[in-house]
């Protein structure tokens, strides 16, 4: 299994589309972290980038994130990536919590108003 976490300075970045990088964790059959890789985030807003197909291509099946818009959530799910929103803290510790079944999706998304994406979290103008 591969788990992706949007990160900035080894901490889970609060917004999926604006992270510095994605940290990819390869999990073995014993539910232990076997390998950690870093995938740089594309330039600009990740909400509209091609990062989701790249994550799928790299075998990611789980995304542990802070906030994201409904568009990103839809595209992750459409690509077979189960997404948990509302996460925060050290990326490795968040993954360890997930592996202990201690992570639940918050059910909250940033808001999209019409064609122009405007998130209440203040990342889009």
The larger pLDDT score, comparing residue 45 to residue 61, is at 61
Map out the domains of the chain with their CATH numbers: 2-99 (3.30.420.130)
Name residues whose C-beta falls within 8 Å of residue 95's C-beta, 6 or more positions apart in sequence. 3, 5, 25, 27, 33, 64
The larger pLDDT score, comparing residue 79 to residue 112, is at 79
| Strand 82-84, strand 60-64: pairing | parallel
Give CA–CA dist 117/125, Å, rounded: 8
* pTM tops 0.85: no
Q: What pLDDT does residue 111 have?
A: 53
């Amino acid at each position: 299994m591969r788990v992706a976490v949007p990160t900035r300075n080894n901490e889970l970045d609060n917004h999926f589309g604006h992270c510095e990088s994605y940290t990819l964790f390869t999990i073995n059959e014993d539910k232990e972290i076997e390998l950690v890789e870093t995938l740089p985030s594309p330039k600009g807003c990740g909400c509209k980038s091609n990062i989701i197909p790249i994550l799928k291509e790299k075998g990611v099946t789980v995304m542990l994130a802070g906030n994201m818009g409904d568009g990103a959530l839809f595209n992750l799910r459409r690509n077979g990536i189960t997404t948990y929103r509302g996460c925060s803290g050290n990326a490795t510790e968040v993954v360890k919590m997930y592996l202990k079944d201690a992570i639940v999706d918050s059910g909250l998304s940033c808001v999209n108003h019409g064609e122009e994406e405007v998130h209440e979290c203040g990342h889009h103008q």
